[in-house]
Structure 1
Amino acid sequence: MKRLALPAFCIAMIGFASCGNAGKTEEKKDSLAIGSENKTATEAPANVLTDTEKAEGWKLLFNGTNLDGWRMYKNKENKTWSAQDGTIHCTGSTTDKSDMRADLLSNDQFENFELVADWKIAPQGNSGILYLVTEEFEAPYMSGPEYQLIDDENFPEKLEDWQKSGANYAMNPPSKLAAKPIGEWNHTRIVLNKGHLEHWLNGEKVVDTEMWTPEWTKNKTTGKWKDYKGYGVAKKGHICVQDHGSEIWFKNVKIKEL
């Protein structure tokens, strides 16, 4: 009986261990499944509005398929902008400075608004999102304030603080550097409501200022814009994305009028 009892005990222990491992295997499978579900849940479809966003008054500025709703600044001819793989894409070149490069302009104009967009830029790249743009001048930056987009770490020239990502270009430097490493998507949010201006980058508020105040006028008239009388004058204008010769991508471009 003793000789029989030991094998029986071992068999029982093996069975118990197997059951335990099976439980762990099932637990691991469940864990993987949950992780997969979470990943899927967080990867929302690009260039679409949720029911909540629709109810809140958001509108798509980019449909993910073509550039309907956009045109070139002053209707210039262009060969650099296209809808590509669900993004607004601008080709980059270090040598092409031809007249076939132009900034991309929204057809519609906006006054008080909240604008969001996702973007990523090529190494050493430079671009921007402009707003309150009018078409009375040679270039959009002569009228519209600019939310700066740039490779903060690798840009080949020394950058002033007011040139770094999230800045109100040449007016207000960002309070912190919040851009992600090159190659990753960044999330930008611009809020302009009756002169109160906020720039957000990846969930961080980096600019909070008031337009058209005595302090704002002082910054304009003593800085880079002192010779640009039309800069920041318009209270309503177009949204514009800048072709600065760098490759850049945009998606999830949405706006809500306030």
Structure 2
Amino acid sequence: MKISHHGIRSLATELAPFEGITLEELKNSDAQLLNRKERKFLMTRDQFSDLLTRLTGSYRVVEIENDRMSGYSTEYYDTDSFLTYLQHHNGKANRFKLRVRHYLSSGDSYLEIKEKRNTGRTTKQRIQVANDATLSEPKPRAFLTSAFPYDYRAFHPVLTTDYTRVTLVSRKHPERITFDVNLSFHTDVCEYSYPDVVVGEIKHNCPLRQSPAGAVLHTMGIRNTSFSKYCTGISLNYAEVKHNRFKKNLLLLEKLSRGGNSVC
């Protein structure tokens, strides 16, 4: 996963006016938000640049070893019948995702269980694992047996998403905003990439009306949308799996990206 050198320089310049916050400071703050509400937004790269200029006084940017842009690679697991994907597609109130997230800047990897509850809140449980860990190893197996409601043995890797993330932390409220750029979805067969689209997500425990970013996005005419990177990636890579629920977002993604790129 790479951003062009021009893209790196451009984004670094746009982030320069923000005061930094270290990862340790974030972990010790109320902005870690493993139990939270979420709102997602899709925007063009140009809209993202405009948004950043309006947020410098209200947020700090997370730095990891002085780097304000962090590479992520997330491997999603599902069953042969796409159990967790179809939970989302069919509108199940309580639904799960199982994934291993690799933080490329630090080299850390975490096995994560993400649950969306019928209250609208999202919870995340996770443990640190080796980069090449499998679900059947003792530590992951014990974690999944106690925290995951399904038989982990039926789950296997089905999709990888890669992106570069910028994280802003509110100066006043328990709120964190992530922006994912240079997004790609791939399997062993195909890859779909969207370098001109940015996925923003406000993670918060305060009313959204208190969010400066929420107010600016509203002013810019960018409305929140139900967007799942996992479900989008499955819809793109597995044509045989039903995806009627996500067609609107797929069309929006194509519109914002001016077509995107695919290699199969």
**TM-score w.r.t. structure 2 length?**
0.27
Structure number with bigger Rg:
1
Q: Higher relative CO (CA 8 A, sep ≥ 6), structure 1 or 2?
A: 1
**Bigger proportion of residues as strand:** 2
